Amino acid sequence: MSSDASQSPTRVRHTVLGLVVMVYFITYLDRVLLSNALPVIQKQFGFSIGTLGLILGCYNWAYAIFQIPGGWFGDRVGPRIALASVVIWWSFFTFITGFSMSVTMLMVCLFLIGMGEAGAFPISNRALSRWMLPTERGMAQGTTHAGSRLAGAAAPVLVATLIAAYGWHVPFFAFAGVGVVWEPDDLESTSRTSTAQKSADGRAARELTPSK
């Protein structure tokens, strides 16, 4: 009986799913922050629509270029360390963006934010494929996408409220703080999961994989 219990899937996968949903949520918070704050920044700095396009292009090019390196990084060091690294990376440069004093600084900061955020989804997918049972992976993907869309719906109101009350700098500081708050304790508690628990989830996943 104890042998059967040891092979039962654990609840650790639900913690992992929760962490991944939060990563998706934070990623979209920052993404919507950029699109909503930049017109205000444009008005203050007085740069043209073309320059605004170049600034956004820095983020989008970095996001595209570093998708594959981000996935490789997750394979190389594992999803726990990789996710912690990229979240801290883009949160740091989101914070620095709040101090931007020039177009050049904006372009550099957005490029570096894009570098970090590029790894979020490939690494998260690796974590889900490792932990979620095959019969739950569709639900897990739906949950993560719901988290991102929720952030997309909530962020414009948050950004507009913060900008109206405190100026465009403060949302960058606040949203950077969300990433930093997410990372330390939750990932550390997940890292303490025993090898026996991981093995049980792995065995359960293999047993539930449909035979061909």
- In the three-class reduction of DSSP (H, G, I as helix; E, B as strand; rest coil), residue 1 is classed as coil
Q: What is the CATH number of the domain that holds 113?
A: 1.20.1250.20
Task: Tell me: pLDDT of 130 over 90.
Answer: no
Q: Indicate the number of domains in the chain.
A: 1
Backbone angles phi, psi at 102, to 5 degrees: -155, 165
Q: Does a structural domain hold residue 25? A: no
Return the higher-pLDDT residue of 198 and 56.
56
Residue 8 within a domain: no
- For position 2, what pLDDT does the model report? 44
Residues 6+ apart with CB under 8 A from 180: 88, 91
What is the tens place of the pLDDT at every residue in 61-116? 999 999 999 999 999 998 888 988 999 999 999 999 999 999 999 999 999 999 99
If we measure between CA atoms, which residue out of 78, 68, 80, 37 comes closest to residue 55? Answer: 37
Going through the chain in order, the beta strands assigned E by DSSP cover: none
The answer, as to whether pTM is greater than 0.85, is: no
Q: Helix crossing, 12-45 with 120-131: angle to 10°?
A: 170
In a domain, 96, yes or no: yes
Q: What is the pLDDT of residue 71?
A: 93
Whether 176 is in a domain gets the answer yes
Cα–Cα distance, 122 to 54 (Å, whole number): 26
Whether residue 102 is contained in a domain is answered as yes
pLDDT at res. 8: 55
Per the domain annotation, does 91 fall within a domain?
yes
Residue pLDDT, tens place only, 168-183 = 999 999 999 988 877 6
Assigned domain for 155 exists: yes
The confidence band for 184, taking pLDDT boundaries of 50, 70 and 90, is very low
